[in-house]
Each structure stands twice: as C-alpha cells, then as structure tokens.
A and B are shown apart, each in its own frame.
Chain A
Amino acid sequence: MTETKQENWRVGVDIGGTFTDVVLWCEGAAHLFQVKLLTTPDDPSRAVLDGVSQALEQARITAKQLGTFVHGTTLVANALIERKGVTTGLITTEGFRDVLEIGREWRYDLFNLNIEMPTPLVPRQRRLEIEERIDASGAVDTALNLDQLPKLAQELHSKGVQSLAISLLHSYLNPAHEQAVGAEIKKLMPDVAVSLSSDVSPEMGEYERTSTTVANAYVHPIFRDYVDRLAAALQQLGYTNELLLVLSDGRSIAADVAVKYPIRLVQSGPAAGAEAARLFGNLAGQNDILCFDMGGTTAKACLIHDGEPERTVNFEVARETRFAEGSGLPLLIPAIDMIEIGAGGGSIARVDQRGLLQVGPDSSSADPGPACYGRGGDQPTVTDCDLLLGYLDENSFLGGKMKLDREATIQAIKTRLAEPLGISPEEAAWGVHETVTANMAQAATIHAIERGLDATRFAMLPIGGAGPVHACSMAKKIGITRMVCPAGAGVASAIGMLAAAISFELGRAAPCELALLDFDHAASLLNGMADEASALIISAGAEKNEVTQYFSVMMRYLGQGYEIEVPVTLEMIENKDRERVLEHFSEAYRDRYGRSEDMPAELLSWRLAVTGPRSTLGDTLGQQKHETKPTPVPRNHRPVWFDNGYVETPVYKRKDFAVGSHIDGPAIIEETESTLVLPIGFKLDVDTAHNLILETTA
C-alpha cells in the first residue's frame, strides 16, 4: 500500500461484554477484514489491540496507515445493568438529598399495587448535602459554604467513595457552585473522579439531571481508565489520529470529550449496530426493519421505520420491571430508541425456588464465560444450550479458533438444570432456548406496539454473534415472516461504525423570546460553534471542504415545557430574519402537532451538527458483482435439535452461497463470527446484495 492511500483505511471496533469485534475496511473495496475475539474484561484494551493487530496483519498494512479509528463499547451499559460501577457518592444542595430516591412519585403501572421503584445507584448514606442555593434566575441566594467540604470529603472517603456526582439546584443556569465544589474536591480527594451535573446534562429538572449525573459518575473511573489504556496502546501501535467513540445516538465524538461523559456512550455499540441494520436493510430494499442484536451479554431490539432508526428523549437504563417504561433510571441523553429485550449468549440459566427455569439477567461475560469455553465456568448458559442442541459446533466456533468443551457443557446443564427439573439435558437445553426466544419475542412485540407499530410487519435483521442463532425461533414467535441476514452479522456493530459518517453535535443553551432575540449575538455564537465543530471534525480526519453543517434551534411556544427542533441557516440569522425563523418554527410545529398557534415563541438552545463525508461502504457493498452460484453442497451433517428431537441437518458455509442459491430448512449456515440456524418451515434465498433472505414457508 502506498502512503497516499493512508486516509482511506478505517477501522471499527466494538467491545461487547463477551466478544470484541474488529472490522477493517479500505474505502472503495468490497472486502471487509473481520476479527472476533474474546473480550478481556480485566483490561478490555488488550483484546482491542490484539484484534486490530490481527486485522492489520490480514490486510497487510500498519497502524500508521489507519486514517480513522472508530470505537464503540457496551462497557458503560453493562456496568449499569449489572450494577458493577464504582462506589459512588453524591453532593447536592442542602435539603435535597432524597430527590434521587423520591423520583417523580408516579406509578408506572396503574393497576399493579406491587410495583418496585428503581433503587438509586447511590444509597441514602452516601448522598450528602452542602449549604448553598442558587435561585431560578441563576442568582446566588445562599452562598456556597466551602468550609463544610473537608468534613463531607472525610465522610465520603470513609465510605469508600471512588467517584462523586455533584448536582446542585439550578446549576443548568449557573454552574458556579458546582464548579467550585468540584475544584475543591479535586484538591481534597485527588483520586476521586468528579461529575458535575452542569457538564453532564445541563437541563432543568433536578431528578432527571441528578440521575444522569450519578450514572455518569458510577461508570466514570472505569471508562476513563479504559480509554487511557487504549489510547496509549494505540499510540504504541503507531496510530496517531484521533480516537473516535460512538455515542448513543450513533454519532461519534473524540475520546478526550467522551471520557468526561461516559453516560452518553451507554448505548454506544448497539447504536452502531442500528446503523449497520439501516445500511443492510437499505441494500435489501427493506425500510421497515426490526434490528435484533444479540451478543454475549444482552439482546436488544431497535425499530427502523421508513429507513430511520426511531429516536427517543425518554431514555432509561436498568429497568426494575422488564419492559415497563418508567421503571428504570432516567438518562437525559440523545439516543436511538432501543430496548433491551433479554439475555445474551452468556446469560446464565437456573432453576428458581419455584422450580421454574429462569434465564439471566446475570451473565458469565467473557471470563469465565459459558461452561463450554472451558475456562472454569460451571454455570449453564444460553450458549451452552445452543451447543448441546447442535446449533453451535465445538470445532467450528469462531471459525475453529476457539474449541468448545462439550463435556463441561453437558455437566453444567445436567447438574444445574436437568437433574433439578427431572428431565434430560437436551430437553432442559431446549427449554432454555424456548424461554429465551419467547421472552425476547414478547419484549420486541411490546416495544413495537408501545410505539403504535405492528412488529409482524417488519422484516427482522439479526445481528450480533448470537442473533442469527436465535432469529428464526424468535421471528416465528413474533409472527415475523421475513428476515434479512447480512454477511458479517456477527460483527455488525463494528461495520455500522464504518457505515456512518463521522459526525458531532454541539449545543449552546441561550433561552430567549424570539421577539427579543439579539441576532448579532446569535450570529457570533453560531460562528463560534461552527469554528469549534469544524476543528473537531478535521482533527478526526475529515477535509474542510467535505464538512457539512446543519444548524437548528430548539423552540416552543412561551409557556410550553417541551421544545421541537427547528432547522435554521446561518444566513437567516446573519440577515436578522425573524419572520423566517418564526415560519420555520410554525412549519416544524405543524409537522409534529398538525397545527400551529398564534402565540409568542421562545428559543431554548442552538444546535449544530457537523458531518464529514458520507461513508461509501453502502455503495460499495451494493455494487458487488453478482456471481451466481447454484445451491451449495453441505460441508457436512450433524444432529440438531428442533422441537422434540434431533434431526440430521446439513451444515453449510456462508461463503458457499451466492445469488441464486436456495435451500429449505432445516440447515445450519456457519460463518466465522456467527451461525445461522434455519429451522424446518423456513426457506433461504440470496439477494443481489449478498444478504440471505429467509422466509417462512408455512
């Protein structure tokens, strides 16, 4: 490779709880270099480096030739869901330490008298108060009493606090007190990570802001250490450009910004998976996609409706009652609307006190991993059951790179499930498989109908290492009849990182009535934002003339509580065109609400999205030459369990399929990073974009 092609190499790296995926791509080429390897939980950067090195080796290039490194991780989400963050404390305004636990006082289920409210990440004994008060105009009512801080620090220290959230009333208007407390704490407790609510989520509403800030603090040190290690290692490897991280809305951001706000990465990898699903759906001519992403630790669903992933502003993690909106911890972050629908391949199955089979939510993660990984795990997991049922093969897992331990699997299932239930290990494994897919089917169905949509009308697109294994069984339970299975499904999130343009969003709060807007000031604000954003995106590898800017302003009628995004241009603001701004607002309002009002409007904040050149990955994959192949010959056969017994089933390699290939289930189709299970009652064809298209035959 010559030096001039340097900027065309891009790598996407996704870390899941169990596996780390690496995809390397040279712009213009149809080939993706893919590596899947076990996540290294003690230091996740190790697997990243190892995987990247392997991919570079495959492509025969060096890290110096890499133009862009995009990275996503479920580290943040898993720490929250499994409550494995650090010991966190909170300092808040005197009189308000219980806000985090009192929440919003409403019942998320009207008829169930036994609902559980979410347990705060910071228990009451670690929520401390400081004398200070800022009022609703942003003025200081009660001076900050920093003299109290040494004692508070002492108390936090004695309670083992490693990370601290500081959330004071009205700090979204005036952050001075939070900043002063933060600065002083850094002196008193230099080892403690500090998250200020005015930085993490400068929005009105003390409960939601505090919840977001506390969640940020809870994962902050873990994430910071991880990114530091990774950046250092990449530098050693020879990568010199910016390290980019994927946010929960699919955009990316430079690592030094991301480490301050890890909570914005809570859905980092999965958001990239949704981008991949959009790309592949588009190639298959499907605009309505149910993206089903099942990895080692969790399974997620995301609806892509009319070609766009659904977005949300009411984001929640770690719901108390599965699937019940309002039962989780609220996070004020922009995000693709995606829900956790269940367990992952590594989720542990057990028999509960009532004698019923339960799966998850706890996971064996990568270490020790499922029993079949042979690393000392003795708890049966979904993956173990998949192995016993013949869906996975001990010799071809990860392309044969990782031999699975069948004996350990049988032992775990036998002692922990089959014997307590009084059934055979195979029946127990089938029970786990059915439980997992039924739970996920129900959750995905509810997710769609909560949005007024009918899941059965969507095509399912399974991604993630365990997605294609469970897709048909789950689709059948939802009532979905069509599935799109792209190549590289097992590393789709990493592919999604290459499919999306590099993009940043900046926001500046500037509340003001439209009638009183100072256009000169606004124009200089927007120009300043444009300079900052351009600098960011150029540092991330884009050329200045390739950058597109999209300005908008969040507006509402005076007195409303929620705003809508109104597109504006720099020109409109520089020309002081108040009428046009109002027109654009009225139009956007009519779009959302079907009417506009004759009332004064106000502006809340300016936004700027800058986007680098669009990725050509979709074009390239769409233009692959259509080599037609006849129906492939199975590489071998193995017994695979469907419904109530083993069926001798043909096993194919994914790469043997091409346009024109057709088979009927049952079949197993293996590729290195994932295995597709095609049960009886499904047929498979190949479309011109090399997607496997599955349809029910019944």
Chain B
Amino acid sequence: MSEVQVSAIRLGLIWRRLDGIVDQVAETFLRAAFSVVVRDNYDMAFSIFDAERRQLTQSKRSIPSFLGTLPRTLEAVLEKFPRSKLSPGDVIITNNAWIGTGHLNDISMVHPIFRGSDLVAFAASTAHTVDIGGAPSPSAKDCFEEGLCIPICKIVVAGEDNPTVMDFINENLRQPAETMGDIRAQFAAYRDCNTKLMSLMDEEGLDSLTPVADEIIARSEQSMRDAISALPDGTYSDGFDIDGVDVPLRIECAVTIEGDHLIVDFEGTSGQVPWPINSVLNYTQAYARYAIKCLVDPDAPNNAGSLAPVSVTAPQSSLLNATPPAPVWGRHLSGHYVPPAIFGALAPIMGDRIVAESGSPLWNVYFSGQYDDDRGNFVKMFFMNGGHGARGHGDGPGCLSFPSNVSNQPIEAFEHQVPMLVREKSFIPDSGGAGKYRGGNAQKLVFEARSKNPMTMTIRHERITYPPRGLLGGKPGDAGVDMINDECIAAKSRTTLVAGDKIVFQTPGGGGLFDPAERDTTLIKNDLESGLTTPAATKENYNYD
C-alpha cells in the first residue's frame, strides 16, 4: 500500500470517528434532556465545526434544517465574539430568527473547543423549546408577539454559568424548568464533546483539525460537483399553490445547472404575508441545500464542502426570504415546500431517483393551559407526520418525517404531560396517492380533552386545500383534515377546549410515482390483504378486483 493510500484510509477513519463522537454527544444531550420535544421527538441537531468555522459533521438524529442554519448562526456569533473574545468553557446562546432557524422557538448555542490555548473546533447545537414566552399565535402580526428574543450573548463565561442571562430567560417562560433543563443538558453534551474530541486528537497526534478538514471538505465538494456535472445543463422549473392563511400563495422555483454548479432561485414566489408562515432566507437555504444533497449526492459525507457548489436565492421580502419584523413562528409552513419545489423542478431529469411529495409541512399541535392539580402551567406539542412520497423503487413508507426528521412521541408519554386521552392513532386506508409505487399512508389521530380547566389548542396545518402531488404519472395523496366534534375547523387556528371535546386530525398522504397501470399485482394484493387500501379504491385506481 502506498503512502498516499494509507493516509487516505487514516483520514477516512478519523472522519468517521468524528461522526461517531457527534452521535454519542447528541445521545448525551438526549438522555439528559428535560423536554419531550427533544428526547422523544428529536427536535434538535448537534454539529461540529473546525476552527475555520467550517461544518465538519452532524449527529444522525438531527433536524436537517438546523444543520443547514447552524453555519450562519456560528458566523453571526463570531462576528460579535471574535476569537480574541472567546475563552475555554464559554457557551454563546441566541434564538434570533434571522440568524437562527427562522423562529424564536429554536435556541442555538455555540461552544468553542480549545486544545491548550489553541481554538481547534466549535460544538454547536440547536434545540426546539415549546415555550419561549410571548404570545405566539396563528394571527401574530409581527415577530415581537412571538416570544422572547435572546440576543447573541454568553450564557456560560469561561466555565461559569452567567446568572444574568439565565435569569433573564427563566423569568420570561411559562415552564422554565423544561427549557432551562434542556439548556443545561447541552452544557453536559459540550463537555462530553470536549473530552471525546481531545482523546481523538491525542490518539491521532493531531494539533489541529484543519488539515484533515481541508482534505475531506475538498473531497466532499468534488463529489458534489461531479454529481452535479453528471446532470444535463439547463434551467428546470416548477411552481404550485399552497394553502396559505386567507388566500392561496404561490411557490415558484427554478433550478439552474451550469457545469458543476447549481443555482436554486425562488423568483416569482409570493411576497411575505402578515401571518406567521414566512420563512427567513437562512431556513430556505438550509432546506434547498438539503434537498439537493439528498437528490444529487446522498452518499458522500455532508459538510461545508457539500454546500459550496449550491447557491440559493429568493426575492427580498418574499414568503421564502422575509424581512423583520415579519411574523415567522410557523416558518416551516412555507419552508417545508422548498424540497418538493426542487424535486418537482428536477423530476424530468432525475428518472427513478426522484421522490413524490410527502404529507408535509410537518403537522403539529400545541396544547396549553393549567393542570387541574398543583403542577402549574403547561405548554406541550404533539407531532404527527403524513405519508412519505413514493420512491423510484418502492412505495412511500407510511407516516415518515420528510423533509424534517421529527419523531413522534409515545402516546403514553404524552398523556402523562397533557390532560388528554388519545383515542386512536392509525393508518388511513387509501390515503397514499396511487401509482406504480404508491404514496405512504397518512395517519388519523383522535384526541379527547379531559381537563377541568379550559385548555387552548393551536394548530398550523397545510395541505388541506392542496394535497401532496404525485409525480411522473402518480396520483396525489389525500389532503389533511382538522375537526372538533365532527366539524371541520380552520387549519391555522386557536380553539379553547372543554372536557369531552373530540379532536380529529388526518395528516396528508404521500403522493404516488409513475402510472398506476404499471403497478405490480403482488403489491396490489398485499395492500388489499393488509387493508391499507380498500377494494373500492383499488378497483378505481388499478382496475383490480
């Protein structure tokens, strides 16, 4: 084996150990976390950057958008706290929507890692907090209503908690124990990251991660460039309507491939709206790059190199590039349309690598109020995914998160936290769009309110009017449904619940792919046997009985 090969193998090993470390560190965070949204829904991300603030790797249990927004967050943190102002043991916090993930409910933190006196890396993480104070609502008119904005500041200074910052956050929250507990759990994870990174560097005899990072980032970038080059040059576009709040809105997307570079542009997309469904550019860019990575070069490592050959633009003050003080609480209601817009645009040239639309934007619901016993206030969320879009070589899985990666939480855990009973969580037959490969089934959730105190329920759901589309001949999935006591309610609304109220949510089904006439009869029969499709719909979609 030549010298060069040995070092390439060594590099690969170091790199994958870094991947392993970041997963373990994320596990430390998850296990010490105080909120269900982190430990059960995995609404978080953990990432390691080198001293040149280039993203190196991320935990497997990560929300894709957070991975994409963290580089900008780190950049903003370093603008305020350049190296000269950083000490070992510092932790810097912010939840500013425009430099973070697009809404105040995600708190991001950055921890510089020193080896001796040398800055060698940054650990950075983002975690969702269900409550960030304020009065976020589906009718918020600006971002100031949406909660506490934590400016970039040091929450830990040289290893010592900063009580001013801690108290400031603490006093603004309805359920501070949960949010502050999660913040402290991340401190534990940073410490773990420090230890593990140091032993890696000791064992490998590394003083700096930069030479290793140079090599791997260059390789990842080349891999992405090669993958883009393999696609035919040209501009491919797609556009579609989305539910919006009062009137439908438009997403327009053009993807231009020029040699080894790819440009995603959202010119033509609706302007920003006075409803909290606007996306910030950082979030839009994160999902655009993520979609390209999944579609074009999924197997290479994901890091700063993979992002370099993709540029993303959206018109100023548009739905996908809102400017302050636009309300942004539900920014995923527009941002989650970014991957399907890109997939739609590239469908004609991707063949069987394409995926039909999934039952997203992600569905969730907030329940808040006061416990009947002495436990005080609560603000809790419940997440539910729709069906995944059909893939080029098989059906879309039922109820699988995309483009986000939010897990559900156990019903049993939920019922310990919220005075409700879940009566049903089941697949909805026929909800996946027909096709050679059908879309994944959606789910039906039935809740029953049990609290003596009135409880507030807030929903922000999409795909009620416009269901997930099929692609290349596949049929659309089912649209979603929201009901209270058997009557439909607005998909972006806040309702007061009383004991006995019955709430039904049906998430959207995944879109189908290719002509249903090409579907294999074994698959048709299996679906009939399991009841995932009904005889009537099977007859209609596939002319089979």
Q: Which residue of A lies closest to B181 (CB)?
A: A559
From B391-399, B461-469, B491-499, the one touching the partner chain is B391-399
Give the A-B pair count, Cβ closer than 8 A. Answer: 187
How far does the alpha carbon of A556 sit from the alpha carbon of B542 in the complex, in Å?
54
**B21 interface hit (Cβ, 8 Å):** yes
Q: How far is the CA of A113 from the CA of B353 in the complex (A)?
A: 9
A102–B302 contact, CB under 8 A? no
Q: Kindly state whether residue B34 has any CB partner on chain A within 8 Å.
A: yes
The size of the chain B interface, using a CB distance under 8 A, is: 79
Residues of B within 8 A of A457 (CB): 203
A106 to B40, CA, bound (A): 11
Q: Interface code B51-93, partner A: CB below 8 Å = 1, 0 otherwise?
A: 0000000001110100000000000000000000000000000
- Chain B residues contacting A96 (CB-CB under 8 Å) are 411, 424-426
Contact B20 A98 (CB under 8 A): no
Binds A, one of B127-135, B276-284, B293-301: B293-301
Q: Out of B177, B391, B394, B423, which one reaches A95, CB within 8 Å?
A: B423
Do A98 and B412 touch across chains, with their CB atoms under 8 A apart? no
Binds A, one of B115-123, B140-148, B529-537: B529-537
The interface bits of chain B over 380-424 (1 if a CB of A lies within 8 angstroms of the residue's CB, else 0) are 000101000001111001111110011110111101100001111
Question: Would you call B410 and A110 a contact (CB within 8 A)?
Answer: no
* Chain B neighbourhood of A448, CB < 8 A: 20
- Nearest CB on B from A131, distance (A): 11
B531 / chain A contacts, CB cutoff of 8 Å: 124-125
Report the Cα distance A561→B196, complex, angstroms. Answer: 24
B188 sits at the interface (CB 8 A): yes
Q: Per-residue 0/1 for A607-646: is the Cβ within 8 Å of any B Cβ (1 yes, 0 no)?
A: 0000000000000000000000000000000000000000
A105 at the interface (CB under 8 A from B): yes
> Does the CB pair A479–B407 fall under 8 Å?
no
CB closest residue in chain A, given B411: A206
CB distance from A565 to the nearest CB of B (A): 13
Find the A residue at minimum CB distance from B62. A110
Residues on A with beta carbons closer than 8 Å to the beta carbon of B401? 105-107
Chain B's closest residue to A102 (CB) is B399
Contacts of B39 in A (CB 8 A): 560-562
Give the residue name and chain of the A residue nearest to B63 (CB). Answer: A110
* A98 neighbours in B (Cβ, 8 Å): 398, 425-427, 443
Assembly CA distance A236 to B446 (angstroms): 58
Q: Is A454 interfacial (CB 8 A cutoff)? A: yes
Residue B270 is within 8 A (CB to CB) of chain A in the complex: no
Give A175-206 as 1s and 0s: 1 = Cβ < 8 Å from B's Cβ atoms. Answer: 00000000000000000000000000000111
Interface: B33 (CB within 8 A): yes
Which chain A residues border B36 with CB–CB below 8 Å? 561
Q: Does B13 contact A (CB under 8 A)?
A: yes
Q: Which residues of B contact A561 (CB under 8 A)?
A: 31, 33-34, 36, 39-40, 413
Tell me whether A170 is interfacial, beta carbon within 8 Å.
Answer: yes
Q: Is A112 an interface residue (CB 8 A)?
A: yes
**Given A102-B443, A559-B34, is A599 in contact with B61 using a C-beta cutoff of 8 Å?**
no
For this complex, into which size category does the number of interface residues on chain A fall?
35 or more
Most buried by B among A112, A117, A125: A117
Q: A131 vs B259: C-alpha distance in the bound complex, in angstroms?
A: 62
The segment from A362-370, A541-549, A589-597 found at the interface with B is A589-597
Does B187 count as interface, using CB distance less than 8 angstroms?
yes
- A125-B530, A557-B34, A561-B40 in contact; A108/B399 too (CB < 8 A)? no
B229 in the interface (beta carbon within 8 A): no
Which one of A99, A204, A594 contacts B191 once the chains associate, using CB atoms below 8 Å? A594
A207 beta carbon closer than 8 Å to chain B: yes
Q: Are B181 and A206 in contact (CB under 8 A)?
A: no
Is A107 in contact with B20, judged by CB distance below 8 angstroms?
no
Q: Give residues 116-168 of A contacting B (CB, 8 Å).
A: 116-117, 123-125, 133, 135-136, 141
Nearest residue, chain A, Cβ from B527: A124
Contact B24 A452 (CB under 8 A): yes
A450 at the B interface (CB under 8 A): yes
Asked if B16 lies at the interface with its beta carbon under 8 angstroms from chain A, I say: yes
The distance in angstroms between the C-alpha atoms of A212 and B95, with both chains bound, is 40
| Contact between B20 and A451, CB atoms less than 8 A apart | yes
- Pick from B196, B392, B413: contact of A205, CB under 8 Å: B413
Given known contacts A136-B416, A561-B413, is B34 in contact with A114 (CB within 8 Å)?
no
B355 within 8 A of A: yes
With contact pairs A169-B412, A449-B19 given, residues A110 and B405 touching in the complex (Cβ less than 8 Å) = yes
Given the contacts A560-B33, A594-B188, A449 and B410 also touching, CB distance less than 8 Å: no
> Smallest CB-CB separation from A597: which chain B residue?
B184
Find chain A residues with CB under 8 A from B406 CB: 105-106
Taken together as a complex, chains A and B put the C-alpha atoms of A627 and B543 apart, in Å, by 81
Within 8 A of B (CB), among A556-606: 557-562, 592-595, 597, 599
Q: Is B150 an interface residue (CB 8 A)?
A: no
In the complex, the answer to whether B42 meets A101 with C-beta atoms within 8 Å is: no
Tell me how far the C-beta of A361 lies from the nearest C-beta in chain B, rounded to whole angstroms. Answer: 20
- Whether, in the assembled complex, A354 has its beta carbon less than 8 Å from a beta carbon of chain B, the answer is no
Residue A104 CB within 8 A of the other chain: yes
- Check B392 against A479 for contact (C-beta < 8 Å): no
* Cβ of A396 under 8 Å from chain B: no
Q: Does any Cβ of B come within 8 Å of A220's Cβ?
A: no
User: At the interface, yes or no: A453 with Cβ under 8 Å from chain B?
Assistant: yes
**In the complex, how many angstroms separate the beta carbon of A250 from the nearest chain B beta carbon?**
23
List of B residues within 8 angstroms of A595 by Cβ: 184, 187-188, 191
Chain A residues whose CB sits within 8 angstroms of the CB of B28 once the complex forms: 592-593
Chain B residue with Cβ nearest A99: B425
Q: Which residue of B lies closest to A456 (CB)?
A: B13
What is the CB-to-nearest-CB distance from A172 to chain B, in angstroms, rounded to a whole number? Answer: 8
Indicate whether B178 reaches chain A with its CB closer than 8 angstroms.
yes
Q: How far is the CA of A99 from the CA of B444 in the complex (A)?
A: 12
Pick from B392, B405, B530: contact of A114, CB under 8 Å: B392
Shortest CB distance B344–A (Å): 14
Quick check: B20 and A141 within 8 Å, CB to CB? Answer: no
Residues in A with CB closer than 8 Å to B383 are: 105
A513 within 8 A of B: no
A517 on interface, CB distance cutoff 8 Å: no
Residues in B with CB closer than 8 Å to A27 are none
**Which among B32, B34, B36, B408 has the highest number of chain A CB atoms within 10 Å?**
B32
Residues on A with beta carbons closer than 8 Å to the beta carbon of B62: 110
Contact between A104 and B302, CB atoms less than 8 A apart: no
Nearest-neighbour CB distance to chain A for B422, whole angstroms, equals 8
Closest to A95 in B: B424
Instruction: Give the residue name and chain of the B residue nearest to A590 (CB).
Output: B188
Asked if B181 and A113 sit within 8 Å, CB to CB, the answer is: no
In the complex, which residues 447-480 of chain A have their Cβ closer than 8 Å to any Cβ of chain B? 448-454, 456-457, 479
Q: In the complex, what distance in Å separates the CA atom of A115 from the CA atom of B393?
A: 10
Chain A nearest CB from B218 CB (Å) reads 19
Shortest Cβ gap from B169 to chain A (Å): 16
Question: Per-position contact with B for A247-290: 1 when CB-CB < 8 Å, else 0?
Answer: 00000000000000000000000000000000000000000000
Q: Does B515 contact A (CB under 8 A)?
A: no
Q: Is B200 an interface residue (CB 8 A)?
A: yes
| 10 shortest interchain CB distances as A-B pairs | A95-B424, A136-B415, A593-B188, A106-B407, A124-B530, A449-B20, A594-B191, A562-B31, A111-B298, A561-B39
A115-B397, A124-B532 provided; 10 other pairs, C-beta below 8 A?
A: A95-B422, A106-B407, A450-B24, A451-B24, A452-B24, A452-B200, A456-B13, A593-B185, A593-B192, A595-B188
Interfacial residues, chain B to chain A (CB-CB below 8 A):
9, 13, 16-17, 19-21, 23-24, 28, 30-34, 36, 39-40, 42, 60-62, 64, 177-178, 181, 184-185, 187-188, 191-192, 196, 200, 203, 293-295, 298-299, 302, 353, 355, 383, 385, 391-394, 397-402, 405-408, 410-413, 415-416, 421-427, 443, 446, 450, 529-532
Can you list 29 contacts pairing A with B, beta carbon distance less than 8 Å? A96-B411, A101-B427, A102-B398, A102-B399, A102-B408, A102-B443, A106-B61, A107-B402, A111-B293, A111-B299, A113-B355, A114-B394, A117-B400, A124-B530, A141-B421, A170-B415, A204-B410, A205-B410, A325-B60, A326-B60, A449-B13, A449-B20, A450-B20, A452-B21, A479-B9, A557-B181, A559-B34, A560-B33, A562-B32
